[in-house]
């Protein structure tokens, strides 16, 4: 998992297990299986997420369970691990791991925070941070530096999880199901729309919110102004109405499954209806990957992630 510190996620797992250990890659050098900020949660019996697998993860999970067996609050361990032959991994780089025990005491502290979670890498309740850390925090507030996870003077500065990007998916058929599957664990807040409950799978994935609307186009009115809309229904007429509703309001992006011929027809009909179709993306996906539902889903997901990357890069350039 890669984002900021997710308080609601911790609350859920603490409620189920009583206490969990969160292992985060606080820094990495050279080649590593996952990047800085990646984390996993470990309970007595389960593991959620991954920091890259292999011996690194196996040992980190074992150490986390040893920590869970110990008493006391605000427990942490910090280690710098070379990813070489001794660990049975040939990445050639190194990672710094911070393992922290979270229970009700730590959760109560997190829920009072108005900014990033700032703490030393050694055990103990976070107190006053050293001057370099305070200076860095002032610079993040003023926009001089980015608010990314940062290891500084043996203190870790970690933003709380950023709001996820709203993504509305219309259609629970084969492609819709494949797309929802590929988006698991990614920074999107999914709203999944179709016309009847029995069009959805029996078990709705935890990362998606199901919305049943007799006319899926009516759901468009409830989407945030910055939402991305992906239209994949079984009906061209429903697709057309959804696209017209989206293009008639504020939106972040609009993608439509189909062909070049479908795009041409839709542009003509949308223009005749008095809306500007210039932001309609159709077809979606990457044609070189194939037409199978999962191939389309992979292409759409890659395009969404690339768009997020470009937006973040633009933000960095503006703040630089």
What are the pLDDT digits (tens) for 286-318?
999 999 999 999 999 999 999 888 876 665 454
Rounded Cα distance, 276 and 294, in Å: 31
Residues 171 and 110 in one domain: no
Residues 190 and 289 in one domain: yes
pLDDT of 86 over the 60 cut:
no
3-state secondary structure of 2: strand
Domain count, the chain: 2
Centre a 10 Å sphere on the Cβ of residue 94 and count the other Cβ atoms it contains: 17
Q: Is residue 138 part of a domain?
A: no
Residues 206 and 282 in one domain: yes
Q: Is residue 319 part of a domain?
A: no
Residues 191 and 297 in one domain: yes
Range of the domain at 244: 165-311
Rounded Cα distance, 287 and 277, in Å: 22
pLDDT of 319 over the 50 cut:
no
Domain boundary among 114, 146, 174: 114
Report the predicted TM-score, pTM, of the whole model to 2 decimal places. 0.61
Q: Return the closest-CA partner of residue 40 out of 71, 10, 74, 81.
A: 10
pLDDT in tens, 265-291: 999 999 999 999 999 999 999 999 999
Contact between 221 and 204 (Cβ < 8 Å): no
**Cα-only R_g, the chain:** 23
DSSP element (H, E) containing 264: helix 260-272
pLDDT of 257 over the 60 cut:
yes
Q: Is residue 317 part of a domain?
A: no
pLDDT at 308: 83
pLDDT in tens, 162-219: 667 899 999 999 999 999 999 998 889 899 999 999 999 999 998 899 999 999 999 9
Contact between 228 and 255 (Cβ < 8 Å): yes
pLDDT at 2: 56
Q: Is 145 exposed, middle or buried (0-12, 13-18, 19+ CB in 10 A)?
A: middle
Tally of helices (H runs) and strands (E runs) in the chain: 8, 14
Q: Is residue 300 part of a domain?
A: yes
């Amino acid at each position: 998992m890669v984002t900021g510190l997710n308080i609601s996620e911790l609350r859920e797992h603490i409620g189920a297990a009583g206490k969990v250990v969160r292992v985060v890659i606080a820094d990495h050098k050279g080649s590593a299986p996952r990047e800085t900020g990646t984390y996993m949660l470990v309970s007595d019996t389960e593991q959620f997420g991954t920091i890259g697998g292999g011996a690194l993860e196996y040992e980190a999970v074992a150490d986390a369970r040893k920590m869970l067996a110990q008493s006391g609050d605000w427990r942490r361990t910090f280690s710098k691990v070379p990813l070489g032959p001794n660990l049975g991994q040939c990445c050639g780089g190194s990672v710094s791991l911070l393992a922290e025990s979270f229970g009700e005491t730590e959760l109560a502290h997190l829920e009072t925070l108005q900014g990033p979670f700032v703490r030393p890498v050694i055990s103990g309740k976070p107190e006053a941070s050293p001057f370099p850390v305070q200076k860095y925090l002032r610079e993040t507030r003023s926009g001089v530096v980015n608010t990314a996870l940062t290891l500084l003077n043996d203190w870790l500065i970690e933003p709380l999880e950023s709001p996820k990007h709203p993504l509305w998916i219309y259609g629970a058929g084969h492609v819709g199901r494949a797309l929802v599957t590929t988006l698991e664990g990614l920074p999107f807040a999914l709203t999944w729309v179709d016309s009847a409950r029995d069009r959805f799978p029996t078990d709705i994935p935890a990362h998606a919110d199901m919305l049943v609307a007799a006319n899926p186009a009516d759901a468009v009115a409830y989407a945030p102004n910055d939402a991305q809309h992906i239209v994949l229904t079984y009906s061209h007429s429903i697709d057309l109405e959804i696209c017209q509703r989206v293009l008639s309001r504020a939106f972040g992006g609009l993608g439509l499954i189909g062909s070049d011929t479908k795009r041409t027809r839709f542009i003509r009909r949308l223009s005749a209806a008095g809306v500007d179709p210039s932001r309609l993306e159709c077809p979606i996906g990457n044609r070189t990957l194939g037409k199978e539902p999962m191939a389309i889903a992979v292409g759409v997901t890659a395009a969404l992630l690339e768009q997020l990357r470009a937006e973040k890069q633009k933000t960095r350039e503006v703040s630089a």
